[in-house]
A and B are shown apart, each in its own frame.
Chain A
């Protein structure tokens, strides 16, 4: 993740002076206007994001209460409860990392259907006999580089090839899984690297390393979205690409970077998943794209772009893994679990629509009529 912040920060000073001097005042004025206009808008939206996250936390609490009621024997044991929290977070970690990248892409007005396939391709590429001979460093580099490259290809196809994101990433979904099957010769590739496998079994201060990785990626994503020019541009590009272009943002270039970021997240996720399964194969990370999109959506990310929060997406992922956990400890079937997941997605969007039409607006109108 730190690579991303590294590449985006130095680009800023290099790019701004590169604008020809006559445009400079206009550019700064536009930037000022953007920043000024942003402030109040930001505050209002931020408040709404917080309200939405509160609702998600409510759902989470409800799920845990259901767990306590249905399995009081398990929840009565405090050491089990602690280990259960860690298991839920561990189950959320891989999809969580993918969802951070997905959230950026969706906020930027796109969609990435290829994330599951990228995870599989990066995982397979990192576990070939040749890559494994370079040790843990080689495997991690390989997974990250493959993820980044595939993301770049997605971005270039969409920005400069003018393909619709849905089509470009759908094509990549098929192609990347195909390439992964070709590389692995359709076999399950076992990772013999103790360092890589150790990522999934190592605990630091009683908390699994995977959870730290998730936390680091989420933190980096949050900073990148909320505290950097890159993040503000992402919101601008997704909210209104034409306005963003007129404001001097290189929309095409920015879009490429968004997909590259998503690909990089997939590369990180690939290492985590490979470590967990101590192996990789072309069919792994099946349907992760849907899990990630669903988590981002119930987290309050607008599918048409321009709005979304990293924390909301994280809560979305954790809600899903809590549901999985709840059904597992009660020994219920996955069919029922999938129906409940579907219901939660619909309910989340419905509730958010009500919120989006804004309770305050609604109340304000009422106040007007009563006055």
Chain B
């Protein structure tokens, strides 16, 4: 009996010790301090240039974006914060928007009651948050809609977004030009889309398919992923299995592209070239190094958040964009989707996220 209990207590001590040790070790493993911190994309308040950059009337900018589950969304929030910090005359108020439209609506009503001078908003869903935009505008607070449009023109003062359809067009144009240069007849083209239920994915695919059709080409197989690397790897593995020979692939998103490139290595395929999407730092570096199948990426840059903050400040101060004739900021701004290749990668590197 006693021998057993001594045995047991020794065992407990051992297990307990091991557990505590493992716990300490694990806790030590949470650090994520990287050698090179990612820099936000900002445009410094160049006071010497005078004009709009010079400090003006003090304004408060309220900001709300959905909880980030993706590098792009994380970069949006980082950029907005950093750009606001670059202005001495801007007070930046941010509210956690939670995971869905309902949570963001609640967060927004708190923000509206604090009466900021302007609200910059990346809605979880433009349609679902249309009413919240209207409410703020009615309360006399101008709303800057970032990326996901409200259907109602009264719900926003400024709309700034990327060009999803244009991304597809740019990707298709690059692919068509490359295939022509290589003289490939009847090329096999694959597409790895993002989350299929999102409108932005559908727009991207439509732009891609339309442009290919104009050139007499079509997508031979399209596999949607979920904007995550693991889903990208699986979608790409399926795509490779369906198409034993491929000439070109467009992958909608560089974050999921990490998985797609992994699948390329695992399947040992190199007969095709690939175009990415969004313009992550890693993708731009890969393009520059030119040692993977990734030869280009079409941008959908989170730098739009920085620009949104700059324009929100101008709106609140009642100023216009100094290069334009108009005295006020325009109502809509759609960023062009640019194509990053090996030739111009170095100039885009600072915009990668």
Contacts and interface: CB of A to CB of B under 8 A. Distances in A.
Interface of A: 14, 17-18, 74, 77, 80, 83-84, 87, 90-91, 125-126, 128-131, 134, 138, 141-142, 145-146, 149, 181, 183-190, 197, 200-201, 273, 276-286, 324-325, 328-331, 333-335
Given A149-B22, A185-B32, A187-B71, 15 more contacts: A91-B238, A145-B25, A149-B23, A181-B67, A181-B68, A187-B74, A188-B71, A189-B32, A201-B266, A276-B259, A277-B262, A278-B258, A280-B229, A281-B255, A328-B223
A279 B70 contact: no
A68 to B, nearest CB: 15
A282 B69 contact: yes
Contacts of A329: 241-242
B22 A145 contact: yes
A277 B230 contact: yes
B222 interface: yes
A75 B84 CA distance: 59
B34 interface: yes
Contacts of B259: 276-279
B231 interface: yes
A181 to B, nearest CB: 7
B220 interface: yes
Contacts of A87: 237-238, 241
Contacts of A145: 22, 25-26
Given A125-B30, A129-B32, A188-B229, A201 B68 contact: no
Given A128-B29, A183-B32, A277 B233 contact: yes
A370 B23 CA distance: 68
Interface in B275-309: 282
Contacts of B30: 125, 128, 130, 183
Contacts of B111: none
A324 B238 contact: yes
Contacts of B31: 128-130
Task: Give 4 nearest A-B pairs by CB, closest first.
Answer: A328-B238, A277-B229, A130-B31, A278-B262
Given A277-B232, A278-B258, A334-B196, A325 B238 contact: yes
A283 B244 contact: no
A184 B228 CA distance: 14
Contacts of A126: 29
Contacts of B67: 181, 186
12 contacts: A87-B237, A91-B237, A181-B67, A183-B32, A186-B67, A186-B70, A186-B73, A190-B282, A200-B262, A273-B230, A280-B229, A335-B196
A316 B150 CA distance: 44
A30 B224 CA distance: 56
B229 A186 contact: no
B4 interface: yes
B69 A18 contact: no
Given A201-B266, A334-B196, A284 B22 contact: no
A137 B224 CA distance: 34
B28 interface: yes
Interface of B: 4, 7-8, 11, 22-23, 25-26, 28-34, 67-71, 73-74, 196, 220-224, 226-234, 237-239, 241-242, 244, 255, 258-259, 261-263, 265-266, 282
Contact of A142 (B29, B68, B69, B237): B29
A237 B196 CA distance: 42
B68 A186 contact: yes
B163 to A, nearest CB: 24
B347 to A, nearest CB: 24
Contacts of A284: 228-231
B34 A129 contact: yes
Contacts of A286: 226, 228, 231
Contact of A276 (B34, B222, B242, B266): B266
Contacts of A14: 4, 7-8, 11
Contacts of B8: 14, 18
B98 to A, nearest CB: 12
A331 B242 contact: yes
A134 B29 CA distance: 9
A73 to B, nearest CB: 9
A260 B185 CA distance: 56
Contacts of A146: 26
A131 B28 CA distance: 8
A128 B32 contact: yes
A208 to B, nearest CB: 8
A325 B237 CA distance: 9
A177 B195 CA distance: 19
Nearest to B34: A129
Given A201-B265, A334-B224, A279 B244 contact: no
B244 A80 contact: yes
A135 B46 CA distance: 45
Nearest to B235: A328
Contacts of B33: 129-130
A124 B29 CA distance: 10
Nearest to B23: A149
